[in-house]
Every structure is written in C-alpha cells, then in structure tokens.
Amino acid sequence: MGVCMQHNVLFNYLTTKEHLLLYGYIKVPHWSKQELYQEVKRTLKETGLYSHRHKLAGSLSGGMKRKLSIAIALLGGSRVVILDEPTTGVDPCSRRSIWEIISKNKKGRDQQEDAELPQQLPGASGQIGSDETSMSTDTFTERDGTKLSPGFIPDLSQMQTVTDGLI
C-alpha cells in the first residue's frame, strides 16, 4: 500500500534517491538489489526527480517535496494508493505536473483520493473514495500475506551496502 500524507513526511538529511531506497526496503523487502535500483531509477525519471536524485530533501522546493512524497507512495507497484491532498501548497505548474504523474500511474491501482481532485482538475474521473472513508490502522496485510503493524521497523543494517552507486 502506498500513502501520501497531506504534509510531507521526509527526512531533510536524506537525498531523494536515499528516500526511495529506504522506503523500497520497507515496502518490498523481497526485491533483489537490482530490482530495487531499477524501480528507484524508473520512479525518479517518471516523476521528474532524476536530476535531483543527489539533492537533500531539505533543499528541495515545495513542489519537488510533494513529488517525492508521491513517488514514495507509488514505489513498488503498490496496488492501493491513498493520496491525502497531494497538491496542497504547491504552485499551479507543479500542481499540473503532479496530477499528470498521478494520472499516468492510475492503471492497475485502487486509489483513495480526497475531494481536492474534482476542483483542481476539471473533468477528472477515477475518484474511488473521499476523506470520510475510514481505514483500520491495526495491521496492514501485504500481498504475500505478511501482516505489518504501524510500529513495524525493518532491519536496515544492509542499507549502506545497497547505496553503493548503481544509480
């Protein structure tokens, strides 16, 4: 499952690439190193963040931070993606770019979008739910049947060896 909160949940001291690698390890721990790096590279290019892959998240503009948050939500082929006001606080140009990214990635996913979409993108379709839809936070079940609680902390001890220059 992918989630993009209304406010950015980013680490100022990590680069965009490092964010995607970190969340990739959490979301798809069964992927090989090569699969993860290919997906991170594809996601960076698809969202327009590839040229910013070595920049710290704290130095990104508001629109770029939102793109990074959305990229994290989309990473790993999440079938369910929940977007809570994904274009809050961004300029009109960035807003259009973000909705184009979301539109390109709708295929094969169940999306939970808030009521922001119809006002921002006239003629848009595909709204599955609204902010009022509730979701249990007791556990999350992955496709392979693994149950994760909100307090799940993965073993990231291998993180340093994986970031060695494939992208």
Q: Are 40 and 167 in contact (CB under 8 A)?
A: yes
Position 129 scores a pLDDT of: 37
Answer whether residue 17 shows pLDDT above 90: yes
Residues contacting 39, CB < 8 A, separation 6+: 24, 28, 31, 75, 76, 77
Position 35 scores a pLDDT of: 95
Segment 102-107 mean pLDDT: 83
d(CA 89, CA 72): 18
Position 109 scores a pLDDT of: 66
Highest mean pLDDT among 69-78, 129-138, 142-151: 69-78
CA torsion through residues 44, 105, 76, 82, sign: positive
pTM (two decimals): 0.66
Q: What is the CA radius of gyration of the chain?
A: 16
Answer whether residue 2 shows pLDDT above 90: no
Residues contacting 64, CB < 8 A, separation 6+: 16, 49, 52, 94
Segment 23-28 mean pLDDT: 93
Q: Are 106 and 78 in contact (CB under 8 A)?
A: no
Top-level CATH class of 2-162? alpha beta
**Structure confidence at residue 77 as a pLDDT band (50, 70, 90):** confident
SS3 content of the chain, % helix, strand, coil (to 5): 40, 10, 50
Q: Is 76 left (phi over 0), alpha (psi -120 to 50) or beta?
A: left
**Structure confidence at residue 37 as a pLDDT band (50, 70, 90):** very high
Answer whether residue 72 shows pLDDT above 90: yes
